[in-house]
Amino acid sequence: MQKNRLQSGGRIDRTQVLNFRFNGRAYQGCAGDTLASALLANGVYLIGRSFKLHRPRGIVGSGAEEPNAIVQIGSGAATLPNQCATQVLLYEGLDANSLRGWPSVQFDVGSITNWFSRFLAAGFYYKTFMAPRKLWSFYEKLIRDSAGWGHAPTKADPDFYEHRNAHCDVLIAGAGPAGLMAALAAANSGARVIIADEQSEFGGRLLSQTDEIDSMAATDWVAQAINTLAQHENVRMLPRSTVFGYFDHNFVTIAEHCTDHLGAHKHTTVRERLWRVRARQVILAQGAFERPLVFCNNDRPGVMLASAVSTYVNRYGVCPGREVVVFANNDSAYRCALDLDAAGASVKAVIDSRATGAGDLQQEVEALGITVMTGHVVTNTLGSQQIRAVQIAKFSIEGTVPATLPAQDLVTIQCDLLAMSGGWSPAVHLHSQSGGRITWSEELHCFVPDGTTQNCVSAGAGNGAWELHDCLRQGLEAGKAAIEYCGLEISDLAEPKTEGIETNSLQPLWRVPAVKAPDRCPKQFLDFQNDTSVADVRLAVREGYRNVEHVKRYTALGFGTDQGKLGNINGMAVLAEYLGEPIANVGTTTFRPAYTPTSFGTCAGETVGQLFDPVRKTAIHEWHEAAGAKFETVGQWLRPWYFPDGDEDLDAAVKRECLATRRSVGIMDASTLGKIDVQGPDAVKFLERIYTHDVGKMKVGRCAYGIMLGEDGMLKDDGVMARLGEQHFYLTTTTGGAASVMSWLELWLQTEWPDLDVYLTSVTDHYSTISVAGPTSRQLLQAIDCDTSLDAADFPFMSTQTATLCNLPVRLFRVSFSGELAFEINVASDHALTLWCALMDAGKNFDITPYGTESMHVLRAEKGFVIVGQDTDGSVTPTDLHMSWMLASDKDFLGKRSLRRPDALRADRKQWVGLIPADKTTVIAEGTQLIEDTAARAPVPMCGHISSSYDSPTLGHPIALALLKGGLERAGEKVYASLANGKAVPMTVTSPVFYDPQGERQRD
Amino acid sequence: MLLIECPWCGQRAETEFSYGGEAGITRPIDPSALDDAEWADYLYMRNNPCGSIKELWNHSQGCRRWFGVERDTVSYKIAGSFKLYAGEEK
């Protein structure tokens, strides 16, 4: 039984009945309804409880501006919190619930806060719960539970989202009269046009009003326009699509809501699509928001915007009240009285605060026998969970607003609906986001766009054009101008004919005085969603707040899901009044994207789950998987972390892998190393400037450990580099630094030294690298048909040569990151798996053991080899790392000059040391701070930190590497590792090289 | 999101590029001849104008060339892109 549904009219389909639930009760609506229109059709006025005071609230608006009717849709993983009932399209089976109200929205225990509301002024929480500080977490939970918004789903979103890039000549935001007219003007030229509107149907206000255009009903004109546009392939029409962001260089984002209106679907198609549009011209035609009026108890369910009431009557065939009072300070609300009368409601009175009344429309209204009371205001409403009556008083603005109204003049009129209109505010959000200025119009009493910084133009009500013919004309002109800008042929489309009417101008009415002062009278709400009242703004001014941004943060004016679309302007005007300044001086708060709430799913698009970030796998990856390796991510790479044998844990596996490598032979996939091929006549000259060591003196076939510094003298990256020919080098970088080093080398080559004839090529993916380390590694290679001598005399440590292994061409490097005799084998990635398998096969006779990154770290830490990014952090010089010997004195290189800066020479720089716990059992967590004095009072001075820490299988006790103040000179001293539990573990400072300090094993 | 013109590839979205700071900072020919203050000036001091600035950009997701862009730091308007040297392309 839809008791408020009209017998005919509207754009809903009465034959298609849709069942839905609200707060557990079953209702019926029609296809074409929003949740809000369906609830009003069923006579449901109480939709929720307010945020702070738990006051009963109902539907105020009919679109994105709605502050009160915010609901939770559905349940489970796909539940949608904080949805605007005025924007949720009704579907069969829809299940919606109020956000607040316990045990029910009708009887809400929390509403006792309203009794104390006089004490709950702005800043109440800040002032009250300051002390004792420790109890804040307790208060916070209570307050959050009591206030709170919708519930975020706790499971992963089952829906699909996508991003789509587009370019167009003309993007039109809003498909009301101005937007449609602009699209029609642009369509014929062949321009690529995108027209988007957040509503399910194009037409904007024309769907809500009873205007005529070109002697036909406005809705027929809309249908004709859509039909025309649909015949143009160059026009893309996007209904249910909100233009929510306007960024630099005409980059505009649109959220298209593809499937929500279809109901509980199976999550098989895209739910929301993010359009990322680069437009040559943007036409902003988003229209305007009607303003509420500010009087006592103006938040009671049944108090609605006049335009919203017209929308429900004309578009949805719902008459939200039987006995109605209309309250306005402008002409537009008179249309609402006409619409209500036509719908059969009894309009008890039109209360107009202006002494002059309205123009032509007033005569129309009075001709229907409706009382018009000019020079009157509504000062209060009566009722509990729905409006029952209004109190009206005589009123005139002579100079300033009177402090109070005389109580004896009040007249009470019974009603169940109050339609109010305080005038209109252009939706300047996108214009403002684009960088355009807005200015206060003394003529229109609103902020209007004034000057653009990007290629955009505002048209229609969003530009302060209230009358239909102005909207159509501005849209037409904007469309033609955009086409002209694009250099296309302008169509000769003429402005459609409309009937003009005489109107009287609006008289500003920012707040209606009550019989008592604002802090003594019932609440006069400015911002419904945040329960911000006139008294709150007055208090803020009294407490010294002057700036609108500060007042916003103190009173919460303009926060929330609606971002003050209704309330802000009244709040700013009241602020201006109490500050004694013109509104133009007070200004607005900043308009930022998103225009309306946009889901995380839309922002993320496809980049979730496995598509979140690309995964790089080595050519040998499938073998690792088959061997049961545990993986870790290093940058985008997936690398084997360790290879557990049966049920082994990390520690056991690492111990086994390390000991086997030191005893016989270990094998590791080192393919992720960054590899750069450098060739050209000036290769030596170039690399001399990049590396700190003497590159020119390297003989062909020799390798060197090389470090690169930033110009600030700090270690940037390291790796082995080899001279393959007179003009040909091969560099390796850290796994994580590969791309940045490549880009950095190119920067120097392209910007500073373009005269050098050098070419850089990344070969990271072309070659796979297999590292074979351990005392029997030489025998292993010989066992798979190595065609060259691997003896130390023929192939010494730190050299490279080409060779053939199992008939595969390879390049061998005699380098070691484990301290053992070792060979790194570069092989074309296509052959990597074959070679790896051959090595594993032959290795059975040598106790071969594959090892992962964790063992690699332990083996190198035992040898005191640094890992850039773990042991360094961009503030460590080569001297700090005992690498002074690598700094060539007879040449310049990047960063060299910085090593003489006073800071680089400080004696108390953090420097690289080894640490062994005195008890030889405690493994200290990496990142632990070092202190000198365990008795020192907090804050305890820190003298360094641990960068690497492991339980060394080879040595049989824990070891750590650390950066310690003045560390180079402190071997043998004692420091303490300060643990999170307050304990301090004594540590002995040692050399960072724990194992084979002479390096005999790797040179073998 | 800025629309940046790569001198080699044409107009592309900002996401294809990476930023390289102020353009026109020339590395001293002989850094060892500089005192600490002069070296620090080269190393750290950059202009931060309210208005037009020339800066380095790299078409890192494209041709990987570095080039210059003249951009307004207030309006973000780009006056144009330019190659960094007049010599012949390699």
Please judge whether A746 and B64 are an interchain contact, meaning their C-beta atoms are less than 8 angstroms apart.
yes
> In this complex, which of B1, B43, B87 lies closest to A251 when CB atoms are compared?
B1
Contacts of B26 in chain A (CB under 8 A): 752
Please report the pLDDT score of residue A305 as a whole number.
98
Q: Does A592 touch chain B (CB under 8 A)?
A: no
Tell me the torsion sign for CA atoms A860, A861, A863, A868. Answer: positive
Of A250, A755, A902, the CB nearest to B36: A902
Tokens 């316990």 identify what position? A102
A743: nearest CB among B30, B58, B85: B58
Contacts with A935 (C-beta within 8 Å, 6 or more apart), sequence order: none
Q: Which two tokens stand for residue A447?
A: 């902020």
Asked if A836 and A626 touch (Cβ cutoff 8 Å), the reply is no
Residue type (1 letter), A525: F
Instruction: State the alpha helices, DSSP H only, in B1-90.
Output: 36-44
List phi, psi (to 5°) of B74: -95, -55
Q: How far apart are CA A494 and CA A490, in angstroms?
A: 12
Residues 6 or more apart whose CB falls under 8 angstroms from that of A780 comprise A665, A772, A839, A842, A843, A846, A848
Q: Do A759 and B18 lie within an 8 Å CB cutoff?
A: no
Residue count of chain B:
90
**Residue B68: closest C-alpha in chain A:** A751
Structure token digits, residue B2? 């800025």
Q: How far is B52 from chain A (nearest CA, A)?
A: 15
Residue B78 with chain A: CB contacts under 8 Å: 249
Closest residue, chain A, to B18 (C-alpha):
A743
| Residue A833, SS3 per DSSP | helix
Helices (H), A459-579: 468-485, 534-542, 548-555, 567-579
Mutation for B interface: A276, A751, A757, A905, most B CBs within 10 A: A751
User: Which of B1, B39, B56 has the CB atom closest to A248's CB atom?
Assistant: B1
- List A393's β-bridge partners, or say none: A377
How near does any CA of chain A get to the CA of B16, in Å?
14
What pLDDT is stored for residue A112 in this prediction?
Answer: 76
- Which residues of A are less than 8 Å from B30 in CB distance? 892
Reported as a single tens digit per residue, the pLDDT across A850-882 is 999 999 999 999 999 999 999 999 999 999 999
Q: Is the Cα dihedral A319, A325, A329, A332 positive or negative?
A: positive
A746 contacts on B by Cβ (under 8 Å): 58, 64, 66
Query: Which stretches in chain B have pLDDT values below 70?
Result: 86-90
Q: Domain coordinates of chain B in residue numbers?
A: 3-82
Chain B nearest-CA distance from A379, in A, is: 46
Listed in sequence order, the residues at least 6 apart from A74 whose beta carbon sits closer than 8 Å to its beta carbon are: A80, A94, A95, A264
- pLDDT given at position A250: 97
What is the domain class of B3-82 according to CATH?
alpha beta
Cβ–Cβ gap B66/A248 under 8 Å: no
Query: Which member of B18, B60, B75 has the closest CB to residue A435?
Result: B75
Size of interface A-B (CB pairs under 8 A): 65
Check residue A114 and give its pLDDT: 75
Say if residues A879 and A717 touch (Cβ distance below 8 Å): no
Alpha-carbon span B43 to B25, nearest angstrom: 9
Query: H helices of A321-373, where?
Result: 333-342, 360-367
CA A240 to chain CA centroid, Å, is 21
Which of 274-333 (A) contact B at CB < 8 A?
Answer: 276, 278
d(C-alpha B86, C-alpha B29), whole Å: 20
State the residue for tokens 């209704």.
A566
Q: Which pLDDT score, from 0 to 100, does residue B88 have?
A: 55
**Phi, psi dihedral angles at A837 (to 5 degrees):** -65, -40
Could you give all domains of chain A from N- to C-terminal order, each with its CATH number?
160-286+468-485 (3.50.50.60), 674-762 (3.30.70.1400), 767-847 (3.30.1360.120), 894-1003 (2.40.30.110)
As given in the structure block, the two tokens for residue A108 are 């809400």
Determine the Cα–Cα distance for residues A621 and A628; give it in Å rounded to an integer.
11
Structure tokens at B33: 């001849």
Residue A229 gets which letter from DSSP? H
As a whole number of angstroms, the distance between CA A721 and CA A822 comes to 16
**Alpha-carbon distances, residue A448 vs A171, A197, A547, A740 (angstroms):** 20, 21, 21, 47
Name the residue among A228, A208, A227 with its Cα closest to residue A218: A208
Which of B25, B26, B43, B77 is the best mutation test for A, with the most CBs of A within 10 A? B43
Task: Report yes or no: A997 and A965 within 8 Å, Cβ to Cβ.
Answer: no
- Give tens-digit pLDDT for A309-328: 999 999 999 999 999 999 99
The backbone torsions φ and ψ at residue A692, rounded to the nearest 5 degrees and listed phi first, read -85, -20
Specify the pLDDT at position B87: 58
* Stretch 5-64 of chain B: residues touching chain A, C-beta under 8 Å: 13, 18, 20, 26-27, 30-32, 34, 36, 39-40, 43, 56, 58, 60, 64
- Which residues on neighbouring strands pair with residue A782, listed in sequence order? none
For the sheet with A728-733, list strands across it: A703-709, A715-725, A728-733, A674-679, A759-762
| E strands in A918-983 | 929-931, 942-952, 957-965, 974-978
**Residue closest to A306 by CA, chosen among A343, A333, A280:** A333
3-state SS, residue A237: strand
The values of phi and psi at residue A376, to 5°, are -130, 160
Q: Pick from B8, B36, B45, B46 the residue to mutate for testing the A interface (most A CBs within 10 Å).
A: B36
Q: How far is B49 from chain A, CA to nearest CA, in Å?
A: 19
Model pLDDT, residue A1: 74
**Among candidates A250, A747, A901 on the partner chain, residue whose Cβ is nearest the Cβ of B20:** A747
Are B3 and A435 a contacting pair at CB < 8 A?
A: no
Q: Where are the beta strands (DSSP E) in A833-921?
A: 848-850, 910-917
Sign of CA dihedral A166, A171, A174, A175: negative
From the list A247, A712, A751, the residue facing B84 with the nearest CB is: A751
Terminal CA-to-CA distance of chain A, rounded, Å? 94
Residue A500: both structure tokens together: 């003009």
Chain B residues close to A897, C-beta within 8 Å: 31-32, 34, 39
Interhelix angle A567-579/A534-542, rounded to 10 degrees, is 40
Which residues, given as ranges, of chain A have pLDDT below 70?
A: 126, 129-131, 146-148, 264-266, 398-399
Instruction: Decide if B73 touches A, using CB distance below 8 A.
Output: no
Q: What is the dihedral of CA A135, A139, A142, A147, to 10 degrees?
A: -160
